[in-house]
Chain A
């Protein structure tokens, strides 16, 4: 695709995700507040809410996976589908649709990191989400199934993967009944996860095929304003501990104000507990291995109440998503009180 349009569209996504409204966007000048708002009284219902919510400005279906091949070599897999609404009106079908879609996929090993990016307009069958049967797709990438058993497929220039997922454990709602606050100003999103997926299948890199298996984490989030005007990006971690428990932690960074911390502690039976800023510390660790973009890739997490004290380090520090708006996303390993794997995302 035309690089310039690349940039244009992604700015669009990031802009809407960050709630930035450009004055020259003709339509939003007139209706700045007409996108749907996150409402704590609205309950999240499945399978309906696996689908898209066109009246909300931003949405995604985000899957990361930590797998190993038969020799124990670690792989990280990412599959993401973003949706952005260009205007708050009801979306038309066909090319007049006001929905835009973007897909990111990646495969990371200790030596390789390959990624791919796709764009599509909504309403024309190129990308979208079906509720029943469930399928989220863009071109021939797809995440399909019923959230208990499913498939995950994507490909890029040098890689492709064809995996199956399954989970017997329930879905985890973050925050309060799925409403997750992101800033001191009160911006929020609907946010739920399925961190218990067991994933397996084949991954092909550079012409070589590997049979892999491991854990996968699916995130679902939608909102019309996720972070506030004073915030500039976030760090996110989704971790699989070796005792089958999980933990999700994020830090939304402000430019003047401090960071907003939040997280969720998830137990092997599927139960969960919200973590507030006072419940844990997330601290970068000094390391000489900063990559070339001064991105903090080594962290320490301490959750006293859960007796967790772990350090995070990336499997491959070069896991930059050199997409139109770049960010760092890659598999990490945990050491300390617990061992395990997980994914780290840093927006810059």
Chain B
């Protein structure tokens, strides 16, 4: 089942999501990228109802891009997250609400700080140092409580992330096999092999 994790460190945010695409009990694909790049310093991991996820993520992606094109600078992570949250909150009371859970991680180039937001399909938003969605969150939350270091180096952050993923793989019956990990810092976004 779908799992996503994210954590902040000194000057960076790590975002990880599994790469399986499933319909019911069938795996359709094992190399799906479920982390969108919204702007040069903004990442969004999405999970939830198949169909809703991609539709909603692309809607967000295109609107954030439009803002960037119109204004020459992108929205700051706080503002982008506030807008994304509102989109979900408005969707909740529409005829067909999107069932999408998000982790939005970004690096604010204006004040050189990392930001991470936990957002669920109800439009709930929490500003957090680390976060997880899906069944993996039951295993990862307590591990992250214990091992997370907000001033940790990238290597330290990756080690903590690996702990969370390994524990999930060990204990969760329906654990996903593969994850994609991306990092955002002052230099932008890049993928990392775990």
A-B complex is real? no
Binding site for A on B (CB under 8 A): none
